[in-house]
Structure 1
Amino acid sequence: MKITLVKKILDDGSLCTKCRDVQEKLEGNDQLKFIDQTLIADVRDPQSPGMKIAQQYKVERAPFFVVENEGQKAEIFTVYFKFAKEVLQPLIQVEAS
């Protein structure tokens, strides 16, 4: 499994508020270790890696998570709590056992 987090940089160069909130939740819950890569969707640069992946998956909200399992279609999560419940919780349970 490969997990990509995409965060958005706004016109003024700052990280979007929701992206900061999700980053804090990931850090506070010790979940950042499950994120394989973080891409930045810089609204000032349509060619930034995060903007490209957002276009590829037709996602207009940030932050979002791309979960890839070999041989399966990538799953996109735009809601942190749904992502945490469906993807991270099982990983945490496996790690604990």
Structure 2
Amino acid sequence: MKITLVKKILADGSPCAKCRDVQQKLEENDQLRFIDQTLIADMRDEQSPGLQLARKYNVERAPFFVVEEEGREPQIYTVYFKLVKDVLQKKAEESKLAS
């Protein structure tokens, strides 16, 4: 399973407030270790990797997560708490069992 986090940089160059909040929650809950890749959707650069991914999946909110599992369609999460419930809790449990 691969989890990509996409955060936004606003047109004025400042980070998106909601993205900062979600990043902080991921750090506080020791969940950042489950994020394989972080991309930036830079509103000043139409070719930024995060904006390209947002266009590919038709996502207009940030932050968002792309969860890829082999043999399945990628799942898009625009709500942090839904990602935690559906994905990160299971990964945390698997991590505990493996150690």
**Length-normalised TM-score, structure 2:** 0.96
Unaligned runs of 5+ in 2: none
Secondary structure of the residue aligned to 1:45 is: coil
In structure 1, give the amino acid aligned to 2:96: A
**Whole-Å separation in 2 of the counterparts to 1:12 and 1:84:** 30
Identity within the alignment, %: 68
**Whole-Å separation in 1 of the counterparts to 2:51 and 2:65:** 13
RMSD: 0.5
**Whole-Å separation in 2 of the counterparts to 1:35 and 1:50:** 15
In structure 1, give the amino acid aligned to 2:40: I
**Whole-Å separation in 1 of the counterparts to 2:59 and 2:82:** 16
Unaligned runs of 5+ in 1: none
**Runs (4+) off by over 3 Å:** none
Between Structure 1 and Structure 2, how many residues are aligned? 97
What does 1:11-90 align with in structure 2 at a 5 Å threshold?
11-90=11-90
What is the CA-CA distance between 1:71 and the residue it aligns to?
Answer: 1.1
